[in-house]
Structure 1
Amino acid sequence: MYHSPTAEAEIAEELAAVRPGLLPRYTAELPGARAAVLTRLWRGLAHEPLPWVTGRLRGAHSLALRLADGRTLHGPHADPYATGGYVTAVRLDRERYDDPARLMSDLAVPHAAGLAIELGHSVASLALSRAGADHPKEWPEREWEWEQRVVDGHPFHPNCRSRPGFSVADQLAYGPEHRPVVGLGTVAVPAAECLVSGDWPEELRDSERLLLPVHPWQAAHVLKRPYDPWRPAHPLMALRTLALPDGPHVKTALSARLTSSVRDISAYSVGAAATLSAFATELAARTDGLLHMTRTLGAAAHSPDLAAVLRESPEAYAGPGERVLPVAALATTDLPDSPAWLAEFARLALTVGLRLLDLGVALEAHGQNLLVVLSADNSPLRLVYRDLADIRISPARLSGHGITPPALTGRLITDDVPTLRRKLFGSLVAGALAGTAGSGPALGAALRAALPDLPRTPDLTALCEGPLPTKALTLMRLSPDTPGDQWALLPNPLVLEPGA
């Protein structure tokens, strides 16, 4: 049987060796980290279509989940849009669990053992992240400093800080929440063996060879080859994407499982990069100045494990006196505490998202990809979107608006309406807006305040009248043999009952 204290003890042992001064804070953060991960797990158990949960019974003050083997899980009402760590313990029959990894292990459902290990690592890494976080109260000046404030990772994924394969030293050296400066390197490869899209800079060319930026962890653990030092950079929330101090963002291949997926850079995404970038520029011009999309400057791939994308910094779209920050970082400020501000932000985000969806493009607008430009008085002015690699494009909708679809095929292209709506609603409403609001009641209030000013489209009707789709993150981790995304339907936040 797996017990997460093993992961916690392993992290403690490594920490004692590499940074002993951080050990007391790490130990103090463990209970809160367990609650944070357990809260995310309980949300999945309460709302996702798990085949071994046969019934859900809501009582006056609690929720009971009947399992296929006859046992019953008891816990608090699960607000599907709440963040934080409000679930400190649940009961499986009569036994109390405050450790999400031990709970998953004892549930003993298919593939539970693997997820239990990941949950244990998520707890330990989250405690380490919180122990190392010591950010000043003043608001940052640079966009990458905002990224470092997002300590807890994904607001709803139980693997919010799972980084298997990363030692404590690796996390301290490369995790953005620890505020390191990472020395990127380059690996020289024959240009004839590379796929290139866009304009690959002269700085990264050497005669008949391309110099591909490489993350030092990737070079050591996957490529297992030396590299030449290149430039210092600041890691962003995505970990494998880093900001050069005076230039673009560099997306590197980093073949580690972070949250849900093993991250590499596919030939498909490299080949599509330039076409997508040109299309995005045309599309943004149709939003009356409410949206900018960062351009891909160049992309090159020798293999999925050795590839890089150079992308424009979102800071390019902040005017004098303005600041740009990822939506995920809004929760580190007091802005969402104001219902009026939250409604104004929801109005902006939904206006842009619904307008583009009506035109034929569904953004993957979660809190990492979506950024907001704030005025000097912190009013939300416009949005910036980055990373076009996972949007969905409808040629039929585009053509209906007189827009020539981009010359692309493959997974980005679909005319399936439920797929398009899931992409936007699941990332923007159940993701970015919910994570900013912090609870179902706050999210519902912001949506109701924004509704009168939103584009009256069939997509808006679907958003208001149906349940809200979201990725079934726990189910996906318990279904390793099922490819692609799986989905859950959440109670609509516009009609969500308190405690639902």
Structure 2
Amino acid sequence: MTSLAPAAPSVGGRVDPDAATALALLNCAVRELCAPEHQVRVGDGHLMVRLPRVGVTLRAVLRRPPLMSPRLAGPIEERRDGWVAVDWRRITDLIAGELELTTGTPNPEFTAQVTASRDAMELFGRRRTPRDADPFLSSEQSLLAGHRFHPSPKARQGADWPAYAPELGARFPLRWLAVRTDAVVEEGDASLLDRLGPPVRAGYRVLPAHPWQLALLRPESDAIVDLGPYGPEAVPTSSVRTVYVPDAFLKFSLDVRITNCVRKNAWYELSGAVALTRALRPVFDGLACELLTEPGYRTVSVGGTRLREGLGVIVRDGVRGLPGTPLLAAAIADPDGDSPAAVSRLLGDDPAPDRVLAWWDAYVGHVVPPVLHAYLRHGVVLEPHLQNVLVAVDGDGTPVRAVFRDLEGTKLLPGPWKSFLAELPEPVARALTYEPEHGWNRVVYCLFVNHLAEVAAALADRQPSLEPALWRVVRRHVTRCADDTPADTDGAARLRALLAGVPLPAKANLRTRWARDADRQATYVPVPNPLAESLA
């Protein structure tokens, strides 16, 4: 079998920030701007793409003709009198110009966000410390380049972020507050916080705070006492604002933009997490997977919405007791990270094709059925993108269990959950709900385009001839789900369309970032469906 180099060129084992930025921008342009207008063609070992409104043609090396999205390599060149190599700055300017002419809307923030993302990757290369000895935590902190189809996957606001960056191996003690009991707001079971925090005098409860957020908020209230740092070190995970402490995750608000959004726990999301935990526990008791529930939150009632949301913390189940060793799916798929979770490490050097296919069959078999059955049988829209899924592996690196997390992206269909939703405050219920078409697009995008396509690509990078066989494995598992679904239902019709090759929805991260829309309002563009029998 042929072995290929990583998709985003590396220098000395570290991601080249210029190349990674340029390729991510080009990936986005191909998917969202050029392919929908039939401005993409293959020739002489290259993928050539035309930005029609700025009238420029670019090309990059086509590493292989994939079944869904191109796998490209530099250099990226622009056609002038001949082909001239261009850097990430030129590509940023060209794509910004194309977007402005396409949408009729400027975005003066765009270039700065791309630059911030590129500069963050450069900093990782200069300051990254040795990875954590714990395989799970190492996988959480290993994503040096991030999403291949996002224009600014590592963009963060402010000057303080390196102290809290998972990619730099950050660890830090939490800051603890003593909050007068009459100023505490909580739902569900947040008692873990009392066990983790320092002792406080009668009439007060403890509340942990992310030190970065506390510096941003500077809360002033006679109901809040700053107790300073305390307790075990917190380890920031791939989402930056969610940290791991012994036995649990704590999801904090951060009033800074990280990639697309300001990462704040809205008040209705605090309540929604506890409500979803109550609703989903019996559902997931019947599915062959694990769900990390969010049993409680705690915050303050003083200081208005700013402090209620800004100091709100959600308690999430930890990973202790899970079967095998949990690993972040994004790290498994990452061709550029340095985590032992990478699929190249799990499978070893030059594995036999049968070993690769058996590993992939186990992976798909643990991830796909629970997601599809949750939607089809229970009206639950999971968001199984690469950073929301952990895959537990055994001592040989073989997947043995899928673990789903982060209820912020989990939604309910209004029909099956009408009675449950009617019991909730209207803003909470609205935030927990997707209409069926929206929910199906989200499931299909996250599961097939964002997640499985990237893990399959990491496998095919090493053994390109296996790519059709990899998608035949996925097709087989989807077919089994279709066979288990009553034929006269809407869900069965959706699966039949999927297997017939209807194009898949891919979230338009570039357009969403340009429009400065909330993630919930993200649009989708069609991409080829490798589940089609003629392809797979």
**Shared fold (TM-score greater than 0.5)?**
yes
Question: Equivalent residue for 1:89?
Answer: 76
Q: Does 1:362 align with 2:362?
A: no
Other-structure match for 2:21: 37
- In the other structure, the counterpart of 1:490 is 527
Residue equivalent to 1:8 = none
What are the within-5 Å matches in structure 2 for residues 412-491 of structure 1?
Answer: 412-414=432-434, 416-438=435-457, 445-453=469-477, 454-456=480-482, 457-464=492-499, 465-480=501-516, 484-491=521-528
SS at match of 1:89: strand
Deviations 1:434-466 (A, max 9, x none): 222226876653231232343113332233321
The aligned counterpart of 2:39 is 56
- Match of 2:332, SS state, is helix
Contact 2:272 2:432 in 1 (8 A): no
- Which moved further from structure 2: 488-497 or 175-184? 488-497
| Structure 1: distance between partners of 2:384 and 2:394 | 21
Code of the residue aligned with 1:492 in structure 2: it is: N
1:64 aligned partner, one-letter code? V
8 A Cα contact 1:148 1:179, kept in partner = yes
1:215 paired with 2:215, answer no
Partner in structure 2 of residue 327 of structure 1: 329
Q: Which amino acid aligns with 1:175?
A: A
The residue type equivalent to 1:455 in the other structure is C
Kept after mapping to 1: 8 A contact 2:327/2:392: yes
Q: Against the structure 1 CA distance between its residues 422 and 186, is the aligned structure 2 distance closer, same or farther, given a 3 Å change threshold?
A: same
Q: Is the 8 A contact 2:61 2:75 kept in 1?
A: no
Q: Are residues 1:120 and 2:115 paired? A: yes
* Cα shift at 1:375: 2.1
SS in 2 for 1:62: strand
In 2 relative to 1, CA 194–488 (structure 1 residues): closer, same or farther, beyond 3 Å? farther
Q: Secondary structure at the match of 2:39?
A: strand
CA contact (8 A) 2:27 2:148 kept: no
TM-score of the pair, normalised by structure 2: 0.76
- Alpha-carbon contact 1:80-1:490 (below 8 Å) kept: no
Q: Distance in 2 between matches of 1:184 and 1:153?
A: 26
* Residue 149 of structure 1: aligned partner: 142
Helix, strand or coil at the partner of 1:283 = helix
Partner amino acid for 2:526? Answer: L
Conserved in 1, the CA contact under 8 Å of 2:180 and 2:205?
A: yes
One-letter identity of the residue aligned with 1:183: P
Q: Secondary structure of 1:413's match?
A: coil
CA contact (8 A) 2:294 2:315 kept: yes
Residues of 2 paired with 1:237 and 1:69: CA distance? Answer: 36
* CA distance 1:341–1:135, shift in 2 (3 Å): farther
Aligned to 1:4: none
After TM superposition, the structure 1 stretch with the greater mean CA deviation from structure 2, 30-39 or 372-381, is 30-39
Say whether the 8 Å CA contact 2:289–2:366 is kept in structure 1: no
- The 8 Å contact of residues 36 and 85 in structure 1, kept in 2 or not, is answered as no
Say if 2:15 and 2:145, in contact at 8 Å, map to a contact too: no
The corresponding residue for 1:15 is none
**Residue of structure 2 in register with 1:196 after alignment:** 186
Structure 2 stretches lacking a partner, 5+ long: 1-9, 221-225, 301-307, 334-341, 483-491
- Give 1:97 deviation, angstroms: 5.5
Decide which moves more: 448-457 or 37-46.
Answer: 448-457
8 Å CA contact 1:83–1:155 kept in 2: the answer is: no
Coordinate RMSD, CA, aligned: 3.3
Q: Unpaired runs of 5+ in structure 1?
A: 1-25
| Residues 101, 117 of structure 1: 8 Å contact kept | no
- Residue 104 in structure 1 maps to residue 128 in structure 2: no
Aligned partner of 1:349 among 358, 367, 383:
367
Q: Distance in 1 between matches of 2:273 and 2:468?
A: 36
Per-residue CA deviations over 1:333-368 (Å, capped at 9, x if unaligned) read: 324772331233123211111111102111111111
Q: Specify the SS of the correspondent of 1:237.
A: coil
2:372–2:481: 8 Å Cα contact kept in structure 1? yes
CA gap 1:75/1:151 in 2 versus in 1, 3 angstroms = closer
* 1:177 alignment partner, one of 152, 167, 170: 167
**Corresponding residue SS for 2:73:** coil
Greater shift, 230-239 or 155-164, is seen at 155-164
Q: Which amino acid aligns with 1:493?
A: P
How far apart are residue 45 of structure 1 and its match?
Answer: 0.7
Residue of structure 2 aligned with 1:296, choices 289, 294, 297:
294
Q: Distance in 2 between matches of 1:198 and 1:31?
A: 43
Q: TM-score, normalising length from structure 1?
A: 0.81
When residues 156 and 47 of structure 1 are mapped into structure 2, their CA distance, relative to the original with a 3 A threshold, is closer
Residue by residue over 1:89-119, the C-alpha shift from the partner in whole angstroms, topping out at 9 and shown as x without a partner, is 2326568464333322344334354211111
The answer on whether the counterparts of 1:346 and 1:447 sit within 8 Å (CA) in structure 2 is no
| Distance 1:375-1:27 versus aligned 2 partners, 3 A rule | closer
- SS of the counterpart of 1:254? coil
Question: How much does 1:63 deviate?
Answer: 2.1
Q: Cα gap change, 1:377/1:76 in structure 2, threshold over 3 Å: closer, same or farther?
A: closer
Distance in structure 2 (CA, Å) of the matches to 1:279 and 1:187? 31
**What one-letter code is carried by the residue in structure 2 that aligns with 1:468?**
L
* Identical-residue share of aligned pairs (%): 23
Whole-angstrom CA distance in 1 between matches of 2:159 and 2:366: 38
State yes or no: 1:230 paired with 2:227: no
Structure 1 match to 2:176: 186
The verdict on how the C-alpha distance between 1:257 and 1:103 changes in structure 2, with shifts beyond 3 A counting, is: same
Distance between the aligned counterparts of 2:70 and 2:207, measured in 1?
A: 39
Answer whether contact 2:60 2:75 (CA < 8 A) is retained. no
- TM-superposed deviation, 1:316: 3.0
Deviations 1:25-54 (A, max 9, x none): x99789822111211111111111589x85
- CA drift at 1:398: 5.8
Equivalent residues of 1:30, 1:127 under 8 A apart: no
For residues 82 and 339 of structure 1, the distance between their equivalents in structure 2, rounded to whole angstroms, comes to 21
The equivalent of 1:12 in structure 2 is none
How many angstroms apart in 2 are the aligned matches of 1:466 and 1:333? Answer: 29
CA separation in 2, counterparts of 1:174 and 1:83?
Answer: 34
Q: Check whether the contact 1:444–1:496 (CA below 8 A) recurs between aligned residues.
A: no
- 1:242 is matched with 243
Whole-angstrom distance in 1 between the partners of 2:422 and 2:291: 16
**What does the per-residue CA deviation read over 1:140-178, in whole Å, with 9 as the maximum and x for residues that have no partner?**
5452232122332234322121122135xx41x211122
Q: Measure the CA separation in 1 of the matches of 2:15 and 2:389.
A: 31
| Contact in 2 for aligned 1:354/1:459 (Cα 8 Å) | no
Q: Which amino acid aligns with 1:58?
A: R
Give the SS at the match of 1:315: coil
Distance in 2 between residues matched to 1:81 and 1:257, nearest whole Å: 30
Q: What is the identity, as a one-letter code, of the residue corresponding to 2:510?
A: T
Secondary structure in 2 aligned to 1:310?
Answer: strand
Q: Given that residues 182 and 234 in structure 1 are in contact (C-alpha distance below 8 angstroms), is that contact kept between their aligned partners in structure 2?
A: yes
Aligned CA distance change for structure 1 residues 344 and 221 (closer, same or farther; 3 Å): same
Decide whether aligned partners of structure 1 residues 451 and 74 sit closer, same or farther in structure 2, where only a CA change above 3 A counts: closer
What SS does the corresponding residue of 2:376 show, helix, strand or coil?
helix
